[in-house]
Each structure stands twice: as C-alpha cells, then as structure tokens.
Structure 1
Amino acid sequence: MTKRTTLQACAVAAGLALATGCATSSQTPQTAATPTPAPTATASLAPTTTGSATTAQEGVGINLADLDRSVAPCEDFYRFSGGNWLKNNPVPSYASRWGPRNLLSDRIQLQLRQILDEAAANRSAAKGSNLQKVGDFYAAAMDTVAIEKAGITPLKPELDRIAAIKDLKGVQDEIIRQKFLQTGSFFRAGVEVDEKKSTQYTIGFNQGGITLPNRDYYFKQDARTEAIRGAYRKYLTNMFGLLGDDQATAQKNAAAVERIETRLAKASRAPVELRDPQANYNKLTVAELQKRYPTLNPQRLLSALQLGAAKEVNVGQPAFFEELDKVLQTEPVGDLKTYLRWHLVRSVSAGLPKAYVEETFRYNQILAGTKQQLTRWKRMLAATDGTLGEAFGQLYVDKAFSPAAKQKALDMLANIKASMAEHIQTNTWMSEPTKAEALKKLNALKVKIGYPDKWKDYSALKISRESLVRNLLAAREWDYRQDLKKYGGPIDRNEWGMTPPTINAYYNPPMNEIVFPAGYLQPPFFDPNADDAVNYGAIGGVMGHEMTHGFDDQGRQYDAAGNLRDWWTPSDAAEFTKRAAVVGRQYSAFSPLDSVFVNGKLTMGENLADFAGLTVVYKALQKQLDKQYGVGKRPLIDGFTPEQRFFLSWAQLRRSNIRPEALRQQILTDPHSPDQYRTIGPLMNMPQFYEAFGCQPGQKMVRADDDRAKIW
C-alpha cells in the first residue's frame, strides 16, 4: 500500500496467516534441468522424477490439501490454488472477511494478549514506564464494570464545554479543541512533509468531517446505499437518545448532523480524484487563507495549535474549505454544536458503556455484514496497539522477531532491488534520461524492517487505570501535540507509520521509503525455514509490490528525494500512461458481484504494484535459484517446480472469503482490488506464469498478446 502523509490514517490490516498444519508430503525433492510445466488437466499434477536427487527444503508453506484439482490452473488459478480452502473456511460470525491474514492475526493476537495480561496483572511496574502504561491502559479497557458504572461521566467535561457554546467564537474554540482530541470533525489539520520540498515540514489542511465511508454514500440512490443511509440515521438518532435526548430531539439532531455532513460530502473530492497528488498540493499564505476562509479563522486556529509562526499552509482541497467556511457561516450555532457533540461521542464510542458499543456495532453490521461483535479482549488489544503502539510494540518484538529473520528479509530485499534495477536498465520503452532518474530514485530508496531504530518516548503521557475514555483522550492529545512539535524542525526519518505487530507494509512517497513491520514478517508470509520459491512468492511479492509503488501512477510523480517533481520526459510519461491504461481497463472489467465492477482507476496504483512487483520478484528468484542450484537446475517439491511454487505461494496468501456487504464497501472505498483479482490479474499478463503451468492461448488465464499489459 502507499502511505499518504497528511494525518491520513494508515490502513492497519488486522489479519494473519498459517504455516502450521500444512498438508505437505514427505516426497524427496527432485531436480529437473528446466522447469516442468504442470499439465492443464490438473488431476494429474503428480511428482516428476526427471533429473538427479538434490537436497532442498521440504514443502513448507504450500498447503496441498487446499488445492482444487478439479479446476485447471490455466482456467482459474485462484480456485486451483485455494478452492478447497475457500470451501472449508467460511467467514466467522464476528468477521466480514476471512483469509490467511486473519489466521496469522489470531496467532499474533494470542502472543499479544499474553503480554497484555501479564502487564495488566503487574501492579508493581515502575511508574511512568512503558510496562506501566500498557498494563494500566489495557486493565482500564477490560474493566467493563467500572465503564458501566461511570457511564458518560468521563466525557462530561468535554460535553459541558460544547453545551456552553453561545456563538461562532465558541464553535471555533471547540473546533480547535477537537483537533487536539482527533475526533475527525469538519476537516483534518496537521504537520506533514512538504511534498515539493521534502527536506522540511509544512502544515496540511484536508477534507474530512463525515461519518459514512466516503462522499458517494451520501448521494448514490441504489437500494444498498439507501439501506446504509437508513442505518446511519438510526445510529445517529439512537446515540443521541443514549446521551439523553428525547425521541423528537434525537431525530432533529440526527437530521442536523446529516445535513451538515451532506454539505461537506458534496464539496469533497471523490476517492479517484484524491489519488492526484498534484491536485492535492495547493500552497496558500496564511494571509490568503484568512481572506478565503474568514469564518474558519485560520490565523486564530494556527495560533491556538502553536503554529502561529507558519507563513503558509497546503490546502489539499480548496473547494471543500470554501464550503466549510459557508457551513460555519450559515448553519445555526445550535446545529454546529450538535455536530461537534456527535463527532466527539462517535470517536470514543468504543470506550463507553455497552449500549454505545452495541449501537456502533449495529451500524457497522449493515456496512460490512458482520454477524457478531468481536470479543472484547481483541477489540481492546487493537485499541492498545492504536494508542500505545510503540510502547506495546517494544514488548512484542523482544519475543517475536529475531535478528536472523531481519537479516534474511534484508537479503531478499537486496536481491529484489537488484532485479528492479535490471528491469529499469533493460526497459525497451523508457529513454536514457528517465532511466537515469529512475535508477537514482531506486538507489536512494530507504528500507525499514521490523521495528524503529529509535522508539517513541511516551514519558510525558500519563495513563492510569481510572478510565478508558480519559486515557484515549489523553493519548490523542499527547500524540497530536507531538505531531505539532515537528513543525520547523528537521525531518524525522526514523518515524514509522505502522506499529511493529501490524500485518501490513507501505511505501511512503515523500520519504521514498518502504516499511515492513515485524507482524508481517511471520509465517506464512515470511518463514526463514521455507524454500526460496515460497518466500519470494509470499513476502517477496509484498516487497516487490511496495518497491514498485515508487514507480506506479502516483509514486512515479515523486523524485529520488521524495519531491513531487516531474522527472519523466513527455514521451516516456505518455508511454507509461498508455501502458497503465491497459491495466485499468482489465481490472474495470472484473465483476465480483452482479452489476458491481472493480474501479480500475481507484485501484490503479495497487494493481500496477502487484503486476510490476511480481514481475521483478520472479526475476530475482530466478537469479537466486541459479546461484543456489546451478543455471537451469530446479528442485521439485511435491511435484511442483520452484516457479510453480512461487505462483502458488502468491495465490495461497491472497485467498479469502468476504461477505457481499464488505465486498461492495471495498469496491467503493478501497484502493486494493478484491483478493481474487489481485491473485489472477497480474498472472494473466505474465508469460512466466504461462510457461510455469503450460498454459495455452485460448485458456482463461492467458490474455491475447494485444490485450496483455507490458510495463516492466
């Protein structure tokens, strides 16, 4: 994934994987002079015995029992590689999707729970230590008796502050207060790397302030979206009822929130439009900002945020702020207070009594189709990770991530980086000046593996066992103040956008860095004991994906230093756009549900990274195999060549079942394509896949030459 840097939350994938219990045979590996294609009639995929015996890793990581051999790999590789797993692993009632990430997540969560239980039981931890803070936070989060007894009381000082507002100045004061509390009201504001001068920080203002997933949910007229809006209105009304409003008042207040949010949504850019970094870069002086948006009063806002020395601000979406200024000018103060009250309560609902939690879950049920609330310890574990991520993460990596595993991952990345350099150098459509800039960018790429070299200092943050809500608000304010302190100082290149247990990775364009938390570097995504084909197809595919994000339709707009600068010749840029458009058309034709199609423009960057990354990693694997076994010699494990195991590993880690509601939401909001298309989409363009499995023209996994995407 690509990390955007304007206080935009990183998607933290709370899923995990398997490596235990794989149904692999004890077949002695064999060596063949060249890869042996698997027959297209898959029932006969049996071990091959040509060549001489060699000592290779046993089949760790590929689960043979998961294969559906009734499906030909060249007809539907997604079903072939994991069809039996899909049949035997329905989505649990507490989840909206289910796949290897979830299985790995369950395993990591058990490790993390033990850490948290021990920390919570430790009443003698040194006051102010990470152990004390983590233990007290989790203890308060799990004390449901105290939470029920306290009711809304811990939030009362903030609610009283809103209730006391009498005029626009009071509204402005509360907007400032809620920026510190990170409630998500109205818009996002914070310190970010200046994308056109990446050696310094700037201030960014960006659209926000809505409850539904994005602007389209406020306007689409289909039955599914109408049902979601109905659930949203009920959610608003019932939450206001819990806060003490009578039914008529609650309905009136819900309507006020919806009206204000609809105005904000109408002025917001759509997800595809937000993918244009040039359009999101609009520097204004503070004087210009004040003139354009006087009711928002940016000068006063910046001063209160301790950013009064700022001379300019990057306004991501100017039209949004024009409408926001009108909203503040024209909406009744009482309705603005209601809106602010809603976003305060919504943002901390997970820390409130059971009735608030259940109302939030009922709304989310309609969005994602989940049948049952996730057990409390898992929810509070996630809250601890989200609030004290690096304090908690330090305790985790001591147990879960060895120096040897880190070195193995770094070695793989070095091989993949060398392969990427070769792909750039041998590219047939890119001119020499553009190649030189591309190589310069690749050479400057920074890699972060496992956990930060320098951990966050939480010493100024006070956490107690008294109240989960108070802990949440205190941590948010501390975190926001830490962010504000960066302004005017040097770029912090040690900062991480994900916590160590996270099962995800990202590329950060202004920093030109790729980041792989320790949680992702676990079996089956990464297993130091697995054969290279499995590791290169699994975590290697992720490494190639993140690395080539620097050269996708968004990432390519940033140079080696992370500056938003066009370093492409016009003809090279036009050729890239033409080739990328082929990928866009391909994915826009994929339809996972009736009348629902993948958005090839929204998912363009992730699709390009999948395709380019897999191509680059495949070449890196070939070099590794030649080095290990000799040129052209390949071990056979369970009847599969390394090339076949590479593609099987890629596919088996992307198999997942997903509820229709969650799939529809993903299509509308997520820049990643559904897993089945992430699996087959790149392979349908790769002659290397056709060769590995003996695919022939006319089979569904084989695209005609004039329909095939060719980029790297």
Structure 2
Amino acid sequence: MRILLLAATSAIAMSVAASALAAEPAKPMYGAWGVDLTARDTTVSPGTDFNKHANGAWEARTQIPADQAAAGVGYDVFNRSQEQLRTLIETADASTQIGGLYKSFTNEAQVEAIDDKPLKADLAKIAALGSKTDFALAMGRAHGGFGADIFSLDIYPDAKTPEINTIYVGQSGLGLPDRDYYLTDAFKPQLAAYTAFIERALTMAGYANPAKLAADVVAFETAIAKASWAVADRRDIDKIYNPTSIADLKTYAPNFPWSDYLTAAGMPGLTKVVLGEKTAVRDIAKVYDETPLETLKAWQAFHLVEEASPYLSKRFVDSRFEYVKVLSGQSALRPRWKRGVGLVDSTVGEVVGQTYVAKYFPPSSKAQMVELIANLKTAMAKRIEQAPWMSPATKAEAQTKLSKMKVMVGYPDKWRDYSGLKIDVADLYGNVSRSRAFEWAYSLNDLGKPVDAGKWAMTPQTVNAYNGGLENKIVFPAGILQAPYFDPAADPAVNYGAIGAVIGHEISHGFDDQGRKIDAKGALRDWWTPEDSKRFEAQAEILGKQYDQYEPVPGAKINGKLTMGENIADLAGLQVAIDAYHASLKGKPAPVIDGMTGDQRLFLAFAQAWQSKERDDSLKQQMASDPHSPSSFRVVGPTRNVDAWYAAFGVKPGEAYYLAPEARSRVW
C-alpha cells in the first residue's frame, strides 16, 4: 500500500548542504512558488501527454547517473536525505552503534584483509547437514541470520482478530524478483546472468562442479516458480488469509517437518498459522521433498554467499554487481559511503532517526502537515458522502472507518530500544548477522501478543509513506516531507498537488479494492452491500482496462489487475487533494500566479511529484513485480479521469489522452 517503492540497492541526484536545510527556508526550494517551470515542455499540450508537458524538458536534459536505475524527484529527495544522514553518521564516534557500524563497513582495508573468513564457518554448517530434516531446521534458523528459506514467515495482525499478532506462512525461495523471470522469454538475459552468478558464487564457496550445481539450483527455483502464485493474485486479501491448524497443515503439506521447522525459527508450541498462498505452500513443500539434498545444500550455500556479498571483500561485491546491473541497467556500483549509510539506516534506523528529525524536521512542519491531513480527511469524508454508487449503509461504515483512521506524522511517539544489539567496529559480517538475529527476535516478541499500533514500519528518514491496513492508520515519515513533496514556503496549491495527493492516496487505500474489505477495527469483513460492490467494481474495471493499454516499454504493458489498488489510490488521492484545496480557499478565488490558475498549479505540482526517467530493465522489473505503475502513467492515468483537469487546461476531443466524460472512471 506504499506510494513509493525504492529498492535498497538503488537511490531515489541532488546534494544540498545539510546546514542549509536545518532551518525552515525563507522561499520555496523550486522556482518562485514551488514548481520548476523549466522542467516543462510547453510544445506538448497537456492533453497530448501531460507528463511530457510537465516534465519533458527535464527528461530531455537529464542523464541517469551510472549508479542508479532511474533519476527523478524521488531519487533527488532520497539522495538529499542520504547526504543529511551522512553528516550525522560520519561524525558519530566508533564507540557508538552508529559510528561503529558505519566504520566497520567503510574500513575497506579491514574488509579486504578479512575476505571470506567469516563466511567459511556458515558454509561449513551447510555442508554438515546430513538430512532433509536437518536442512529444514537450518532454514528455520536462517530467519535470524544469513540464509534463505522456501517459505516466508511474517508476523502481522490477524486479519480476523486484528488486535492480536499471528504468524503468516507464505511462498518464498526465489532469488530473482518474480516467478516470470523463470517462466517467460522476456527475462532470458536476467536468468542467464543469475545462473552465471550462482556458478561464480559456488566457485568462490569452494564447491566442485559449480556449473552443474548452478543448473540444478536454477531448476529447483524454476519448479518453485511454477508452484508460486502470480503477484497479482497475491494482492487479494481474501485469497491469502487461510488460518490452518498445525495438525491440518501436516496433512495438507506432508513430508515437511512443520513443528520442528517452526520451533527452529523460534516459535515452539504453535497450534495454528495463517497460510498465505495456500496451494503454493503445499506444492513448494512437494518440490522440496522431491529435490536431492545435494541440490538443496548448493541452493542454500549460494544464497548465503549472495546475501553476505555486500559485507565481504571486493571480489564478492563485484561478482554480485555483475548480476545486479543486468537486472537494473545500472553500470556503476553506488559509492561505498552511500552503501554504508544505507546499512546504518536499515540496521539502527530509529537511533539515527532521533537525531535526524531534531535537525531536519521542525515542529512547524509537523503542525502544518497535521493540519493538511485533517483537511484531506474532511475532503474524503465529503467525497464518501457524495459518492453516487455507495448506499447510505455503506457510507456510514466508511465514515466510521475514516474517523477512526489514525494519523502518524514525522516520527514515532516512542522510540525503539537497540541496547541489546552488539556492534563491533572490527566485525562487519558479525554486525550484520547479529542485526538480523536482533530484528527477528524483535518480530517474534510480538507473536501472540496485542498489536502495538504505535510501532512504525518505516524509519523517520524514509522517503515513503504507507497505509497500515489492518491497523487502520496512515504514516508519513519526515523523510518524504521535503520539497518538492512538501515545502512550507510553497504556494498552497503546490503542497495540495504534491503531498496532498500523497495523503489522499494513503487515506483512500482504506477504501480501494482491498482496503474496502477491512473494517474500522482493521478486521477482514465485507461491509459493503452487494450492489455497492458491483458498482464499485464496474468503475474499477474501467480504470483497469485503461492501464492495461499503457506500454511504458515496447512490448511490455502495465498489468491493470496487479496495479489496481495503487491506481485507484492515485486517482482518489488527486481527487481528494483538489477538493481539499478548493475548500481551503473558503469561497475566495485562487490567485493567478505566472499566468497560471490554482488548479493548473496543483496539477503541475502533482505531475512533477512523479517526475522520473527510468532504464528499460528497471521498468521491466517494476512491471513484473511491483503493484505501482511506472511514474509517467501515475501522472497520465489519474489526470485523464479527473473532470477538473480538463477544465483547467482546456483539453479537447481528439487529443491523445482525452476521455469522453462517460468513459472516465468514477471509482472515487
């Protein structure tokens, strides 16, 4: 349900001196009122391609940095945040968790001297496994360290009793981003690069006949891919909620030591689990049972090397990057300091986050955001009330859910305690391994206990936002609350078009094709009338068919089913942002600035918030596995369904993206 998906190995490139950001700016960061007018290509009319109109000149002059999969606003803000974090992290003393971890990563001479010594002990443990049962237990233990598992284990609120956390068991076991990478010709180059990487890794791990074993590992993962569900089907919350007793699980998916495996993962005495991709779990267990132990051990050894490679010597880092660059199209590895900052951020994020928000997120920004969110919630309430396809009973339930939706801005009220995590400046591999064990123990501590709604799934410095789904909350970290998403000095129309649409997006996730199945308490319950459902689904289908026709890369179209929830939220977020902006004018006309009306400025800010230029390989990966549409169609797709956009720019029939009023989706 997140509005941005930024891979840990990529960056979202503009450096800004940290000292200049410590205080609230006296003027907007972009242009005279918050938008970069030089980014536009005014030779392209809004109706021909609104993304090109808003961002075409920027796209023409922008080169994607060699160490990035794309360039754009998201990357600019991410890189700015990384520079901000760098100033905090590099000055931390080596005796602290922040300083010790960062220095253990950036001391290249030390890492090179250690080479693969830490890896050898873990490889020896894999080699010593004498049976399939031993191997299953090792997979369970891998959740607390390096290593892979054919199943996912996640602790979340129970969808039927959302006040209590439970364990979800789902499909896993693939090294490539999605099952399609194994099963379709479109990804043959990536599969070949992956196979070559496996062979290199097994060679470095000391295995004899690595070429044969690499082929066996790929065959094993291909069998898992065939058993796995398509990513679009995994979005359906009804399909992925399958509570099952351990006794029934043993019957449903036999020949796998479930109780011992779960005990090894740190969950002894479980009587039930929730199965996600139910048939996939059964069929993957069967694939496992039919696979020789030798292949399984080679598979685990490869994944150990792959996961550990970023924390080993240069030969391991380079070998892994030879594969990664085929996936993303990047031609250069990110600088070591960026990778080090990323490690600290992902390991002790709330420790560094406390200093980050104190320096870069003033109380005035939080207050302004809280007010903005309240305005957006009011606008959403009005839109619910006026929805022609929603019955009074469903409207009442929707209003209750909206009123109880918790709002979290900037940073958590209570910070995490990391005192139990040992960091050794001379032991990078051990630091990462201990961090993984620490995080798994942190998750296990929630199992079977009441849900703590105050916990955050993102650090304060994250450039992202999310809807908590089963917790009925929306979260906006300080990291995303920077220009051009949010600029305290910008024209209000700009903030409504950028961060306002993001806020509306997250609010509306509570009422999209999956959020509508969750009630005000966060429970999985169908609270819509059958007639409302039919009318909603008819409008959603109109939107889905539009996205099915978009072709960001020649030969690769967007999957409207996979991206449905995010597309609905993009459209709803923009609609709600417009309503809230109009309400904020309190009946007065919006000022005209640089010859542009308030609505025109809002739509332009919305488009520039999705400003992005991607490599083709990165786009293909996104479309195969990501529920978000490519950025250009997060501009075009929503706007052409909004009546106010046509009025603002005078879009007429005959223009490329014109839709007749009756052809526009009225899903929200």
TM-score scaled to structure 2, two decimals?
Answer: 0.95
Deviation, 1:324, is 2.7
User: Which among 578, 591, 594 is matched to residue 635 of structure 1?
Assistant: 591
- Three-state SS of the structure 1 residue aligned to 2:519 is coil
The 1:58/1:452 distance shift into structure 2, 3 A limit, reads same
Match of 1:336 in 2: 296
Query: Take 1:503 and 1:680, find their aligned partners in 2: how far apart are those partners?
Result: 23
1:554 aligns with 2:514: yes
User: Which among 78, 84, 87 is matched to residue 57 of structure 2?
Assistant: 84
The 1:669/1:379 distance shift into structure 2, 3 A limit, reads same
- Three-state SS of the structure 1 residue aligned to 2:378 is helix
Match of 1:153 in 2: 117
1:237 aligns with 2:210: no
Deviation, 1:78, is 1.0
Query: Take 2:500 and 2:308, find their aligned partners in 1: how far apart are those partners?
Result: 38
- Three-state SS of the structure 1 residue aligned to 2:340 is helix
User: Which among 646, 650, 653 is matched to residue 602 of structure 2?
Assistant: 646
Deviation, 1:509, is 1.0
1:193 aligns with 2:166: no
Deviation, 1:245, is 3.1
- Three-state SS of the structure 1 residue aligned to 2:169 is strand
Match of 1:349 in 2: 309
Mean CA deviation greater in 292-301 or 541-550: 292-301
Mean CA deviation greater in 415-424 or 395-404: 395-404
Query: Take 1:17 and 1:80, find their aligned partners in 2: how far apart are those partners?
Result: 23
Match of 2:188 in 1: 226
1:264 aligns with 2:229: no
The 5 A counterparts of 1:43-442 are 59-119=32-92, 122-123=93-94, 125=95, 132-181=96-145, 183-222=147-186, 225-246=187-208, 249-442=209-402
1:527 aligns with 2:500: no
The 5 A counterparts of 1:515-664 are 515-626=475-586, 631-664=587-620
Deviation, 1:350, is 0.7
Query: Take 2:66 and 2:6, find their aligned partners in 1: how far apart are those partners?
Result: 26
Query: Take 1:673 and 1:367, find their aligned partners in 2: how far apart are those partners?
Result: 18
Q: Deviations over 1:9-46 (max 9, x none)?
A: 996684287999xxxxxxxxxxxxxxxxxxxxxxxxxx
Query: Take 1:430 and 1:343, find their aligned partners in 2: how far apart are those partners?
Result: 49
The 1:107/1:645 distance shift into structure 2, 3 A limit, reads same
Q: Deviations over 1:334-378 (max 9, x none)?
A: 221111111222112111111111111111111111111111111
The structure with the largest alpha-carbon Rg is: 1
User: Which among 412, 436, 446 is matched to residue 452 of structure 1?
Assistant: 412
Match of 1:485 in 2: 445
User: Which among 629, 633, 656 is matched to residue 700 of structure 1?
Assistant: 656
- Three-state SS of the structure 1 residue aligned to 2:239 is coil
Match of 2:12 in 1: 15
Deviation, 1:466, is 1.7
Does the 8 Å CA contact 1:502/1:517 hold for their aligned counterparts? yes
Query: Take 2:616 and 2:6, find their aligned partners in 1: how far apart are those partners?
Result: 24
Amino acid at match of 1:341: A
The 1:592/1:344 distance shift into structure 2, 3 A limit, reads same
The 1:145/1:424 distance shift into structure 2, 3 A limit, reads same
Query: Take 1:173 and 1:280, find their aligned partners in 2: how far apart are those partners?
Result: 25
The 1:156/1:18 distance shift into structure 2, 3 A limit, reads closer
The 1:19/1:705 distance shift into structure 2, 3 A limit, reads farther
Does the 8 Å CA contact 2:465/2:480 hold for their aligned counterparts? yes
Query: Take 1:262 and 1:279, find their aligned partners in 2: how far apart are those partners?
Result: 23
Does the 8 Å CA contact 2:39/2:54 hold for their aligned counterparts? yes
Amino acid at match of 1:230: A
Q: Deviations over 1:639-689 (max 9, x none)?
A: 111111100000112121111111111111111111111101111111101
Does the 8 Å CA contact 2:3/2:502 hold for their aligned counterparts? no
The 1:309/1:177 distance shift into structure 2, 3 A limit, reads closer
- Three-state SS of the structure 2 residue aligned to 1:255 is helix
**Structure 1: any 5+ residue segments left out of the alignment?**
21-56, 126-131
Amino acid at match of 1:86: E
Does the 8 Å CA contact 1:557/1:566 hold for their aligned counterparts? yes
Q: How large is the RMSD of aligned CA atoms in angstroms?
A: 1.9
Amino acid at match of 2:194: Y
Match of 2:646 in 1: 690
Does the 8 Å CA contact 1:17/1:100 hold for their aligned counterparts? no
Q: Deviations over 1:91-141 (max 9, x none)?
A: 11111110011112222211111111101xx24x5xxxxxx1111010001
